[in-house]
Amino acid sequence: MSALTGGVGPAAATAGPAAAAALRRVTGVPLARLLAKRLVAAAVIVVALATSVFVLQRLSPLDPAKAMLGPGASASAVAQQREKLGLDDPFAAQLGRYLVGLPQGDLGMSYRTRRPVMTDLGAFVPATAELAFTAIVLALLLGIFFAVSTSLRWPGASVLRGVLMAGASAPAFLLGIGAILVFYKQLGWLPASGRTGITDVPGGPSGLLVLDGLLAGRFDVVSDALKHLVLPALAISFGPSVAIGRVLRTSLSSEERSDYARTARAKGLTDGAVLRRHVLRNAVGPALSMTGLQVGLMFAGVLVVEQIFAWPGIGQYTAQSIPVADFPAIAGVTLLLGIGYVVINTVVDILQGLADPRITT
């Protein structure tokens, strides 16, 4: 069998620096390329979104100047205001001005609040971020539970599945209203409006009440904030959790029938060990993709659900900006959501690369 130690073909050249390749996957060239690609994508999306908001502004019959001055304003005052806002400049000039300001963080002035849109967003975003993040985590947990309970045939899993499926078939606002009626009005278990009932909340540094409360050692704030999060976050996460869960369940069951799972069983591993060590990592890819897609839909859900729960986030801000044609504010929110979507999907891609070594080598 001398030949066995002879030439070994291509593997010798490629298999060796496996550790180096793994390192590069996380820190090196391919990741930098991915980030560069996504940066370009984000720029393209921002320009496209800004342009569409501006086109909508042109088409809109609402006059921001009139909206700012109120219904009783004289025509000359409106004209003066239009001049001041630069609304009579050519379309391209307005758009150009806006785009040039973006890299410096200048999103223009809100017509309504008369403050920079950036400042307004800074005030409203933390509330929305806290709610959205909670909803994503909840959607993932429910989705994983949905899939694994079905896959391992846990008793009682079908009840939960039924509840989730029924819930997912209703729109988020209906779930929200129903949850308020049942858990607040009838049972009185959970609060139904705002982020907290406590008035002297710690004022920083993240703006996320749960986190700030923990940092300040104010556990009363933490628990109150969590109670306030439960119902709106659930209302948002029901639909996405079922979507994620179904995809994960499908890929779990096909991976469980795979050849390598059979190999693992032939080694004498238990079903649980086969699922944990072998199947799960191979099955998460499609579920991650679905999570990325669902996050986009969840943003829309957040804006509506904030209204129902009087959540002081960008949903409120947007709702107040739309009737008065506050286009800088609307544009700011739109761009923020667009960038959030790109960021989430970049994170998904990186996670998929970490889960599957074949993607990056």
Partner 1 sequence: MSQDDTTAAVATAPPPTGAGAPVARVEDLHVTFRRAGADIQAIRGVSLEVGPGEIVGLVGESGSGKSVLGLSLLGLLGGSPRTSGRAVVHGTDMLTAGAAERRDVRRLHLGAVFQDPMTSLNPTMRVGRQIVEAAGSQDEAVRLLTAVGVPDPARRLRAYPHELSGGLRQRVMIAMAVAGTPSLVIADEPTTALDVTVQAQVLGLVKRLRDEIGCAFLLVTHDLGVAAQVVDRVAVMYAGRITEVGPADEVLRHGAHPYGVALMRSRLSLRTDRDTPLLALPGSVPSPARPEPGCAFAPRCTLAGPDCTTTPPAPVEVAPGHLAACVRDLAEIRAFADAVPGEEPPATGRPSAATAPAAATEAGPGAAPDDAPVEEPAAVRVQNAYRTYGVGSGIGRRRPLQALRGVSLTVARGEAVAVVGESGSGKSTLLRLVAGLERADGGTIELGSAAGAQMVFQDSGASLTPWLTIGELVGERLRSAGVPRAERDRRVAEALELVGLPAEVAKARGTQLSGGQRQRVGLARATVVPPEILLCDEPTSALDVSLAASVINLVGRLRRELDMAVLFVTHDLSVARVVADRIAVMYLGRIVEIGTADEITHRPRHPYTQALVAAVPDLGVEPPPPSGEPASPLDPPPGCAFHPRCPRATPSCSDPALDPRLAAQPGERTRLTACINLEVS
Residues making contact with partner 1 (CB under 8 A): 1, 3-16, 18-19, 29-31, 33-34, 257-260, 262-270, 277-278, 281-282, 349, 353, 355-361
Cα–Cα distance for residue pair 266/271, rounded to 1 Å:
11
Q: Which is nearer to partner 1, 233 or 280 (CB)?
A: 280
Give the nearest distance from C-beta 6 to partner 1 in angstroms.
3
Three-state SS for 83?
A: helix
Give the nearest distance from C-beta 346 to partner 1 in angstroms.
11
Q: Is the previous residue joined to 240 through a cis bond, with omega within 30 degrees of 0?
A: no
Give the nearest distance from C-beta 45 to partner 1 in angstroms.
19
Q: Which is nearer to partner 1, 12 or 92 (CB)?
A: 12
Asked if residue 209 lies in contact with residue 201, where contact means CB atoms within 8 angstroms, the answer is yes
Cα–Cα distance for residue pair 35/223, rounded to 1 Å:
37
Cα–Cα distance for residue pair 46/319, rounded to 1 Å:
21
Give the nearest distance from C-beta 358 to partner 1 in angstroms.
5
Cα–Cα distance for residue pair 14/91, rounded to 1 Å:
56
Chain centroid to CA 20: how far? Answer: 33
Asked if residue 242 lies in contact with residue 146, where contact means CB atoms within 8 angstroms, the answer is yes
Q: Which is nearer to partner 1, 114 or 257 (CB)?
A: 257
Q: Which is nearer to partner 1, 19 or 75 (CB)?
A: 19
Give the nearest distance from C-beta 24 to partner 1 in angstroms.
10
Give the nearest distance from C-beta 101 to partner 1 in angstroms.
33
Cα–Cα distance for residue pair 219/308, rounded to 1 Å:
26
Q: Which is nearer to partner 1, 38 or 82 (CB)?
A: 38
Terminal CA-CA length for the chain: 33
Phi/psi at 189 (5° precision):
-80, -40
Q: Which is nearer to partner 1, 153 or 257 (CB)?
A: 257
